[in-house]
Structure 1
């Protein structure tokens, strides 16, 4: 007898599920009911349905014994749903039983749902850690998963987890393999597309716009403890600098620096005939990042003059044929920094730039980097008076001077705050030349 009752109950359960699953409207109704249960911990309150088709309204009205065909918005109380169930042939079941059968899993209250999601997430990242993370990436990965306040990359990974876990696993799998094999660890330098292709099969895997490209910069900054607070540095240059820390060249041809009076030795020990040719002809030469990083050694005179403006650079080298000089062209490209890093072994720098907030920030960055190897040349009021232009500095630009903290720039900083006018090197070109000739 009991077996017969159980068999009938199973038949009724299948009929009940068939009824609700064959009517599309109940997918929407049951999702709303489940959300309400998760929020309250029991069935109660009301659910609101919108944008139902006519057929869905008829399906709903059939069970609830209501006509909803003219309703744009339908509000249903749990009291009405309970009454309709008790008056139906499915009254032997509760709504909880029906929904658990429908979704194939137990109903959970909000706290339980959150706990379950947290456990799933923890399990996901534990699998990533066990399967893909190597020794070099272990410490960074643990920080980026656990510390949402300070870890670089935390938000990026969490967003992708919510969006697509399968894609995130693929990205992290390739990313983790790549960071264990950065060119710097093999004392090599590779172009970014080549490195990406060798590691992942996709030359664009670490492009700037990709998640992997962003994570790579975060990892490099953390692992190599790179200072990214060089005020005034453009975003592309900061990216180039970070990548180079890991032995990766992002832009090795268009990243160049204008030079004069230098010599170079190639990695095979021979003199670089191209550079030497320009030296003999007394002509300026654009050195690309590719050329610089392929040199074993590069050198110039004991004093190397560095100016911001190409016009000033031209005047300097035309009237002083035996000098060594560099032109930054108003920005500190990676090529400039790499060149100066090599030249500082045997030379001392004289740097002169524009008298405006941006120019002072460049001067400060150079002074902080090269310290006693670099002299800030002509940063006194007497030279500002000669260079002063009619260009009025806006308050927004003047605010940048708050970041100036190098002692040698204090005098010019105060003058700019008082005068509120920029001073440019072109206005003192002849003075630069005459002073330069005296110092030679």
Structure 2
């Protein structure tokens, strides 16, 4: 389905026509996807395509770029992972061909290249990952093809680094900062950064190991790395908690306990979470606020009285998710509140899918919305986002908001939140 959609997209834009024809010529000449595309007398359609793909203006009359660069430009799109050889075949409606002897030689050399690496890893997770990718032609298959065609030795170096990294972090799980881990494996602290080939390949390998889809955004990438014991971007990835106690084994963590006893908010980083085993909340309930102002107001109202709170500050960070995971694992219940707008409902929907019955959509009702409806209109483009809501509880609210067209903000519900916390 994705292949057909990709081809339809390419054919619909005339700016791709000359590029695709040249890629076909290079393929038939070289026997693989590679080489350099040269466009003279660039048309306005081609200029728009290049600007969109490579994020820079093409004001000159000609341009040159590698086939690898062109294909990789689609990595961050919904067409990521498509086999471009199949794309070419479907685009031109014919099976691509090149000299039989050359094809046979290429296939033999390629097979030997990958088999040598697989055998070197001796049935470890790295060997199993690479063998599965080549057999099923999924996961990182498109990237491996491109890198092999461009520079086999460079790919070999990358695969050895990634294989060693995969084996170490899944066979000997231990929480470690990604930069330090990369230094130990490659002597380069940035080797596994997400914008590096080795970083992307490591994510593919981890996704395969844990039987997950490739993480398409930064938060999902950090969560996958954390699962393998790798801490990435711990400074900016934090959550804010109040009234939460943590334990290492059976011993209470004195730092967390001090803030809980004082009733003061605590900034909790990924690293802090990696150092504890479990957490506990007052009456096994955590009240989560999307809005920092509401969180601070409720924390102030409670003063020195018990009550467990979290501030998710908009889009939920990995640190918040991992802390909520520990709360649920300990038998806790989540009361989640947020703004009544498309973005707020999408966050609530995501959390409801993750935690199911353990998460209560707190005052996310049409009745509450109608009481606090603002005069701030929501654009048609933003309202369209509500179509992707899946939770039955939120679908009703989404329809009411679409019909109204106005936002509602949780600051207006502070009194209800306070009453609930005191009663519960």
Task: Tell me if TM exceeds 0.5.
Answer: yes
Equivalent position of 1:225 in the other structure: 211
* Residue-by-residue CA offset, 1:266-319 (whole Å, 9 max, x unaligned): 35x543222222222221111111112111332111221111001111121222
In structure 2, distance between residues paired with 1:202 and 1:127: 25
Does the alignment pair 1:154 with 2:141? yes
Equivalent position of 1:368 in the other structure: 353
1:130 pairs with one of 97, 119, 138: 119
Equivalent position of 1:303 in the other structure: 285
2:260 pairs with one of 275, 279, 294: 279
Note the C-alpha offset of 1:435: 4.2
* Residue-by-residue CA offset, 1:116-168 (whole Å, 9 max, x unaligned): 222222222222222246421233212322444xx121111111112111111
Does the alignment pair 1:293 with 2:277? no
Residue pairs, 1:40-439, within 5 angstroms: 110-132=99-121, 134-148=123-137, 151-182=138-169, 184-226=170-212, 235-267=217-249, 269-301=250-282, 302-320=284-302, 321-344=305-328, 345-437=330-422, 439=423
Residue pairs, 1:8-23, within 5 angstroms: none
In structure 1, distance between residues paired with 2:192 and 2:332: 37
In structure 2, distance between residues paired with 1:204 and 1:216: 13
Note the C-alpha offset of 1:249: 1.0
TM-score between both structures, scaled by the size of structure 1: 0.69
- Note closer, same or farther for the CA distance 1:185–1:390 as it changes in structure 2 (3 Å cut): farther
- Note closer, same or farther for the CA distance 1:292–1:309 as it changes in structure 2 (3 Å cut): same
Larger Rg: 1
Matched-pair contact (CA < 8 Å) for 1:299–1:346: no
Give the number of equivalent residue pairs: 326
In structure 1, distance between residues paired with 2:103 and 2:188: 37
In structure 2, distance between residues paired with 1:169 and 1:298: 44
In structure 1, distance between residues paired with 2:377 and 2:260: 40
* Residue-by-residue CA offset, 1:25-62 (whole Å, 9 max, x unaligned): xxxxxxxxxx9xx98xxxxxxxxxxxxxxxxxxxxxxx
In structure 2, distance between residues paired with 1:171 and 1:133: 17
Matched-pair contact (CA < 8 Å) for 1:264–1:298: yes
* Residue-by-residue CA offset, 1:380-424 (whole Å, 9 max, x unaligned): 111111332233222322222222111121221111221122222
Matched-pair contact (CA < 8 Å) for 1:193–1:203: yes
Matched-pair contact (CA < 8 Å) for 2:234–2:271: yes
In structure 2, distance between residues paired with 1:399 and 1:144: 37
Query: Which structure 1 residue ranges, 4+ long, deviate > 4 Å from structure 2?
Result: none
Note the C-alpha offset of 1:228: 6.3
TM-score between both structures, scaled by the size of structure 2: 0.72
* Residue-by-residue CA offset, 1:57-102 (whole Å, 9 max, x unaligned): xxxxxxxxxxxxxxxxxxxxxxxxxxxxxxxxxxxxxxxxxxxxxx
In structure 2, distance between residues paired with 1:126 and 1:273: 52
Unaligned stretches of 5+ residues in structure 1: 1-34, 40-108
Unaligned stretches of 5+ residues in structure 2: 1-24, 30-97
